[in-house]
Structure 1
Amino acid sequence: MATHRSLLVLGAAVLPLIFGVPAAGAQPAAQPAASYACRADTKFGKHLLSLRQGVDAKAPTTVKPNHRFSITVDLKPGQLPTEVKSFKLKEVRDLSLRVPIPPNTSYVSAALTGGSGLNSTPSVRLDGRTAIITVAGPIPGGAAYQLPSLTVRLKAGRRGAVVETRLQGTSYDAPGLTLTAKIKWKFVTLTAPVNCYPNPNPALTRTTIR
């Protein structure tokens, strides 16, 4: 079993959100850090931010045809800010993260383990060939939390194929990560939907079927 670790750091323009973003890695390699481009839609307009997060992920480097194997993603703990500039972050809720089932595999199962400070029980479900992790929350501003670890069980396809895992999402209008943030500005409390997509979106795991 090979391990890849990527250290990701948040950078936000207007709405600072810090939370774990599952990503997966198969083997040590020099590659771009996974990151999300996000857009928060508020009554005062649309605000852009970038979001990154540290993860530890494991997957086998090789697997035999028709054999089962797992990709496991362990997320680092985080803490939401209470305020940045003139915005107060009151809570984050209804987080959904989408992870495509890689080509050259068939889905067997997915499971979540651990997690804390989420004020809800996270769930994972399959929609077509996409695993969707949902955290209802709410996670209050300033709170420490940890998202659960995700394990996806897969069945390898044909010999010679390479299984690549990528995050889902291609634009703000076709996101792979969504959430709702409640923020306060002066005497006004706003509910802002946030849509994110991975940019860039390199292959984060590679498993050769042989």
Structure 2
Amino acid sequence: MKKVVKKTKKKATAATAAAVSLSAATALLAFAAPASAAEDSVSTSSTVGYVCQSRFDGSWFPINGYSRGFTTTAPSKVSAGAGFNVAFDPAPIVALGEYNKELTDIEVAYKVSPEARVLGYKLVGGKNLGSAVFHVERRGAEFVVTSPDSIPGGVEFDLPSLVVTLRAPGQGAVTTGPGGSSFEQRSFGWNRLHPANDQWDPFQCYADPAKPVVFSTTAVG
């Protein structure tokens, strides 16, 4: 579960990029979703099952049965060309202290229908994150919430919610779900310092393709 992934000290650069990303996203979100869309918003709870692996002392091993909960809020229907918001709220996390002395490079990925036009995005909330600064990275139709900063293990924390402002296409539907498709492009995970050997190793997960999950569906028309 461990590949000595040495922690690179690029926190200052990453923090600056994070601040720029967040300020740019906030500016873009000056666009407000129509009241009709907001009134029609529906919150849906979903559980994502993951394919996961980790490493310890140079040996990889699977982590079976791992899952995460999410609450997604989106309108059930909008007019063609209308603007609306979709909010992704991940459930709180506890990384067990006996395996995770410290966490870094935490990330969670979300996916939006590529037909929808992205008008902006921002992060909201978060709890027990210490001095860690989170930002959003775009990966095509995916949004990755991540931070290069560290959080202590064994403490429950809540990642920021992601709010994405979209413009609906001319027809069809806008769907959302978990992003990521491989251990290289994780859906969820982090790098961790194991207390037993003081080595950094990845905890890598991607959404199980055999059990696809749709977070939200917004009909257009």
The aligned runs of 1:156-175 (5 Å cut-off) are: 156-159=168-171, 161-175=172-186
Q: Is the 8 A contact 1:56 1:73 kept in 2?
A: yes
Q: Is the 8 A contact 2:108 2:186 kept in 1?
A: no
- C-alpha distance in structure 2 between counterparts of 1:145 and 1:64, whole Å: 37
The aligned runs of 1:1-210 (5 Å cut-off) are: 1-6=41-46, 33-49=47-63, 50-83=65-98, 88-119=99-130, 120-159=132-171, 161-185=172-196, 188-199=197-208, 200-210=211-221
Q: 3-state DSSP class of the match of 1:54? A: strand
Identity across matched positions, percent: 23
CA shift in 2, pair 1:4/1:124, >3 Å: same
Q: 3-state DSSP class of the match of 1:89? A: coil
1:110 deviation in Å? 1.0
Q: Is the 8 A contact 2:48 2:69 kept in 1?
A: no
Q: Hey, which of these two has a bigger chunk of helix by percent? A: 2
Q: Is the 8 A contact 2:52 2:203 kept in 1?
A: yes
1:77 deviation in Å? 2.8
1:114 deviation in Å? 0.9
Q: Is the 8 A contact 1:118 1:137 kept in 2?
A: no
Q: Where do 5+ consecutive residues of structure 2 fail to align? A: 1-40
- C-alpha distance in structure 1 between counterparts of 2:189 and 2:109, whole Å: 9
Q: Hey, which of these two has a bigger chunk of strand by percent? A: 1
Q: Is the 8 A contact 1:167 1:198 kept in 2?
A: yes
- C-alpha distance in structure 2 between counterparts of 1:78 and 1:167, whole Å: 17
Q: Is the 8 A contact 2:110 2:143 kept in 1?
A: yes
CA root-mean-square deviation: 1.9
What is the letter of the counterpart of residue 35 of structure 1? G
TM-score using structure 1 length:
0.76
Bigger shift: residues 189-198 or 51-60? 51-60
- C-alpha distance in structure 1 between counterparts of 2:71 and 2:178, whole Å: 15
Bigger shift: residues 193-202 or 64-73? 193-202
Q: Residue deviations 1:28-74, cap 9 Å, x none? A: xxxxx312211113334112114322332211111111111111122
Work out the number of aligned pairs and report it: 177
TM-score using structure 2 length:
0.72
